[in-house]
Structure 1
C-alpha cells in the first residue's frame, strides 16, 4: 500500500487502563517510526508508557476508576457506563485546550475515548477507531444491544442518562449522532484482534471494519523469562490485571498442579491477593504479582486465563491451548469463542475445582487435534498483517479527501 505523501500529525486518545492502551502501542510506535508526529491524550498514570512508544503525551485529568480500584465500577449496566460519559464531559474541555493551535490531521481513538470522535467532528478531520475487542455486526443492535438496554431505558436513571448523553452530543454539533452509535458504529475501524475472535464475523461490514490481528511487538521493555531446564511442560495461570482478588481460585490451582510430574507452573496473582493467603507453595510453582506474559506464552504449553481479549489473542498467537475462566465483561463471550475454535475449554469460575482444572489442562495438551487447530489459527493470524497493516490502513485515511 502506498505510504502517505508527507508526515502528518496524528492524535491518539485513550484512558488510563493497560487493557485499552497496550493493544495500540505498537501501532503508535510504527507510525512514529514512519515519520509522523503522534500525540497522545492520556491521563498522567500512563504518560510515560505512551512516550516510550514515540508519542508526545497530551496529559489530561480523568475521573475514571483505575486498574488499582476495579470495585469502583459497581455492578449494574449503568454503573459501568455512566463513568465514561461523566469523564468525557469533563475531559473534552481539557483536550480542546491542549490541542488549541495544534489540531491534528487525523484522530485515532480507543473504544473508551468518547471525546475523540466529537473532537474530530469539531476539527473537521477523519476519525479511526482502534478497537481492542469485538465490533458490531449487522444485526447486533437487534440481537444484543436492544434486549440488554431496553429495561434500563424505561427507568428514570436510564432516561436521564440518555438525555444527558444526547444533549452533550448536540452541544458539540453532533445532533446527527445518537449515543448508541458514537463508538458502536464508527465511520472507520481498524480492529486489533484476529477475525477468528469476532462473533458473527461473516456479518461484519468490511468497508468499515478491517481485522489486522494483534499488534504485539517484542515487549522487550516488559522483561524476559527463562524456562527452567528441567521443565517438560510449562503452565501459565493469570487472571489479568483487574479481577485478580481470587485467593480461593489460586489455591485450587496449587492443589491441581502442585507436584504434577513434569509440569512447571507460573502463577500470577496480581496486586489484590497476598501470597501469604495461598499456603505452602509447591516446588514446581513460581508465584508473582506480575509477569511478562507474552514472553512466557512463547515458551508455554498451556494457559489458564480469564479470557480477556488481550490474553486470548496472545494465547492464540503463540499457539497455546487455554482453559478459560472468565471474570467479567466480554470475557464470557471470548471463552465461548475460544472453545468453539477448538483450542480451549470454557470452565466457569464456580466449576473451577482442582480436579476440573487439572483434567482440562491435561486433556487439551494431550489432544493432537487441539495442537493442529492451534497451529492453524496461529498461521491465519500471522497472515492478517498486524502492526504494519494497521499503519498502512491509517495512512490511507490521511489521503482521503
Structure 2
C-alpha cells in the first residue's frame, strides 16, 4: 500500500480544501498521515486519515490569523520561518517512522518542504489559492501601494533574520529560493478552476488545476444545520444578504456598522457574521432586518442567499459561485482583489477596494453594490454559470494525479 504524509497549515481555509482529496485517496487504498494542530483532528480523521498533532507552541491557527490580520504578508512569512525551525526536527523523526512514499505539503507549510528535501522524498504541493505574480501588482493605486508598503516594511528585518537562521540550520540546498512562498513541488495541485488563475510565467507542466475540491451543492457535503433563530431569519420571503470577511481577516467595528446602516432599510434579510475579533454587543442594537452572529455555517446560508458581501478569499468565492450567488467583494489584500476582479470581469461581482488603502467603505457605495447584485438578473445567472462550469471532480481528479505520481516514483521517476 502506498503511504503519504501531509503537512498542513493550521487554518480552515487551507485544511478544508485538502480533505476531499484525503477522503478520495483513502478510498483508493492510499494510507494518509496528516500533520496539523489539534483543532483539525476531528475533520481529518473523519476524512479517513491518521492524524498527528504538531508540538504545542510550534504554530497555531491564532498565530496565522494574527499575522494575516496585520495586513503584512511579510509577517506571515516570518511566522512560517520561525515555525520551520522547530517543526523540521520533529517531522524528521516522524517521517523516519512513517516512511512515506511522498510528502504532500500546503504550499505555505515550509517545514514540510524542508523536511522532504532533506530526506530526499518526492514532493506534492497543495496550492490553496491562485498564484500571484509581480505583474498582478501593477493594478494597485499609489494609495494602495503606500498602505501595503507601510504594513510590510517593519517586518522585513525579522523575516530576513528568520530566513538566515533557517538557512544556517538546514542548508540552502533544501530551502526554496526567492520567491520562497508559495512553494511548488514535483507535482503541484491547485484546487481552483483554471479560469480563476491569471497568467503567470512560473506555471509549468507540473501544475494541475483541479477545480474546487468541495462542491457545496453536493448533498453529501452539507454543512452544519441552522439553529431555529437563524433558520427563521433566512427562510423568510425577502432575499438574504450574507456579510462575512472570513476566518482569518478581522473586520472592523466601523465596517460592520457601515453594513448595518447601509442595508437597514433594504427589503432584505441580512446575516452579519463578524468573527471572533468583534464583539457583537459593541455594534449596538441591529436593525430589524439584520441578525448578527460571531460565526455562521456559511455554506448553508449561501444555499439561501441572494448576495454575498465577502473579503474575496478563494474558498468563500468558490463556495458562493458554486451556489450561484453573486458577490460584493471587499478585499483585504492583493490576492483577494485579483479574485474579485476576475469574477467581476465575468459579470458576477462588484469590487469595493477602499480597505486596500486603509479607507472606509462609504455606506452609499456598499448599498449601491448590493442593490446592483440583487436586481441584476444577469449577475445571478453569470454566478450560476461560473459555478456550474467548475465541476465537482477536484478530489477525484487530484487523487488520480497523486496515484500516477506515486506509480512513476516507484518506477524510478520516469
Helix, strand or coil: the match of 2:97?
A: coil
Moved more, 244-253 or 207-216: 244-253
Residue of structure 1 in register with 2:396 after alignment: 388
- Mapped pair 1:312 → 2:317: yes
1:56-98 C-alpha deviation (Å, 9 max, x unpaired)? 1121225335337844565555433111111011101111122
TM-score normalised per structure 1: 0.85
In the alignment, the residues of structure 1 paired with residue 82 and residue 282 of structure 2 have an alpha-carbon distance, to the nearest angstrom, of: 37
- Mapped pair 1:369 → 2:378: yes
Q: How does 1:251-270 map to 2 (within 5 A)?
A: 251-261=257-267, 263-270=268-275
TM-score normalised per structure 2: 0.83
Q: CA, structure 1 residues 293+166, in 2 after alignment: closer, same or farther (shift >3 Å)?
A: same
Residue of structure 1 in register with 2:141 after alignment: none
1:210-232 C-alpha deviation (Å, 9 max, x unpaired)? 11111115444533474744323
CA contact (8 A) 1:268 1:291 kept: yes
In the alignment, the residues of structure 2 paired with residue 183 and residue 237 of structure 1 have an alpha-carbon distance, to the nearest angstrom, of: 29
In the alignment, the residues of structure 2 paired with residue 309 and residue 266 of structure 1 have an alpha-carbon distance, to the nearest angstrom, of: 20
Residue of structure 1 in register with 2:142 after alignment: none
Residue of structure 1 in register with 2:113 after alignment: 117
1:187-217 C-alpha deviation (Å, 9 max, x unpaired)? 321101112221226x564512111111115
The offset of 1:368, in angstroms, is: 3.3
Q: CA, structure 1 residues 46+158, in 2 after alignment: closer, same or farther (shift >3 Å)?
A: closer
Helix, strand or coil: the match of 1:90?
A: helix
Q: CA, structure 1 residues 93+222, in 2 after alignment: closer, same or farther (shift >3 Å)?
A: farther
- Mapped pair 1:246 → 2:252: yes
Residue of structure 2 in register with 1:4 after alignment: none
Q: CA, structure 1 residues 66+323, in 2 after alignment: closer, same or farther (shift >3 Å)?
A: same
Q: CA, structure 1 residues 69+170, in 2 after alignment: closer, same or farther (shift >3 Å)?
A: closer
Q: How does 1:328-339 map to 2 (within 5 A)?
A: 328=333, 330-339=335-344
- Mapped pair 1:164 → 2:165: yes
Residue of structure 2 in register with 1:106 after alignment: 102
The offset of 1:162, in angstroms, is: 4.5
In the alignment, the residues of structure 1 paired with residue 129 and residue 137 of structure 2 have an alpha-carbon distance, to the nearest angstrom, of: 16
- Mapped pair 1:37 → 2:36: no
CA contact (8 A) 2:240 2:269 kept: yes
Equivalences, count:
383
Structure 2 runs not aligned, ≥5 long: 139-144
Residue of structure 1 in register with 2:174 after alignment: 174
1:7-62 C-alpha deviation (Å, 9 max, x unpaired)? 32121111221122111111112212222211011122322331222111121225
Helix, strand or coil: the match of 1:267?
A: strand
In the alignment, the residues of structure 2 paired with residue 183 and residue 352 of structure 1 have an alpha-carbon distance, to the nearest angstrom, of: 30
Residue of structure 2 in register with 1:55 after alignment: 49
Structure 1 runs not aligned, ≥5 long: 1-6
Q: How does 1:265-284 map to 2 (within 5 A)?
A: 265-284=270-289
